[in-house]
Amino acid sequence: MYSWLVRYLLRRVIAQGRAGNIDPTIARYADDAHFRFPGRSSWAADYHEKAPIAAWLRRFVAVGLQLEPQEILVRGGPWNTTVSVHFTDCWANAAGEVIYTNEGVLFGKMAWGKLTAVTVFEDTQKVADFDDYLEAHELDAR
């Protein structure tokens, strides 16, 4: 029952983020959460506080990236929960042409409903290429 509830919650906050409301996602992070997004792109991150994580997430939404969970795995009890989200993400320009697509896995730890650690793994070269596109078209929302 608990794993079903966590999957439901994650799907719900991800859907709210896709609709432009990132606040429910930010609320799921512990104040001292550790967030990592490996790579050398402008999206690369290694944060240990909620405020920079929130800024990263707000940029994700402002740019217009759309994350779609494919599968969510949950293990453990409320005091020590492991989550894994296999996802695809994409971005389309104003004409509706899909410019960026990627696939990855978000690996996280939760305690009592709060994300305490999250690492996002995806093709970092595609992320860097997307950075180049945004810069060339002056579309970045940093």
> What mean pLDDT comes out for the span 8-32?
97
What sign has the CA pseudo-torsion 60, 118, 37, 120?
negative
What percent of the chain stands above pLDDT 70?
99
Report yes or no: 65 and 88 within 8 Å, Cβ to Cβ: no
Q: How far apart are CA 36 and CA 141, in angstroms?
A: 20
Which residues are registered as beta bridge partners of 108?
A: 83, 118
Q: Find the mean pLDDT for residues 104-116.
A: 97
* pLDDT for position 141: 57
Assess contact for 38 and 121: CB atoms under 8 A: yes
Q: What is the pLDDT, as a whole number, of residue 139?
A: 83
Neighbours of 1 (CB within 10 A): 4
**pLDDT at position 140 over 90:** no
pLDDT surpasses 60 at 114: yes
Q: What pLDDT, on a 0 to 100 scale, did the predictor assign at position 142? A: 63
